[in-house]
Amino acid sequence: MGHIEILEKLNTELQKDIQDECQVIYILSRIRKYLEDKNEKKQYIYLNFYCNWALHSRINDTKAVNVILNDFISGKDSGFLNFDYLKNDLKTF
């Protein structure tokens, strides 16, 4: 599946009223696939992290987001819990 097809599927899904977890998982899986196909995971590190988090029960490589995770763990949440990083990356995407 090429990038155009992935974007078309994403666009179709995003036109719908998102009402359940399955829709969110599908959207995040298509975004992740697009980022991988276009080699843009580093451009959208937070979006890629949240996509991985939604699709996997364990994430071993968190280097790209260590700063926000460490802030969260130490009690200095700088936007991780309210999804500020995800929202910003989604808007840019």
Q: What tens-digit pLDDT sequence spans the chain (93 residues)?
A: 688 899 999 999 999 999 999 999 999 999 999 999 999 999 999 999 999 989 888 888 888 888 888 888 888 877 777 888 899 999 999
68 to 44, 64, 76, 90: CA distances (angstroms): 14, 9, 9, 17
Place of tokens 């196909």: 37
Half-sphere exposure for 51 (CA within 13 Å, toward CB): 20
Assessment of whether the complete model's pTM goes beyond 0.75: yes
pLDDT at 43: 95
Contact (Cβ atoms closer than 8 angstroms) between residue 69 and residue 78? no
pLDDT at 12: 93
Q: Is 70 exposed, middle or buried (0-12, 13-18, 19+ CB in 10 A)?
A: exposed
Q: Among residues 30, 27, 31, which one has the least CA distance to residue 18? A: 27
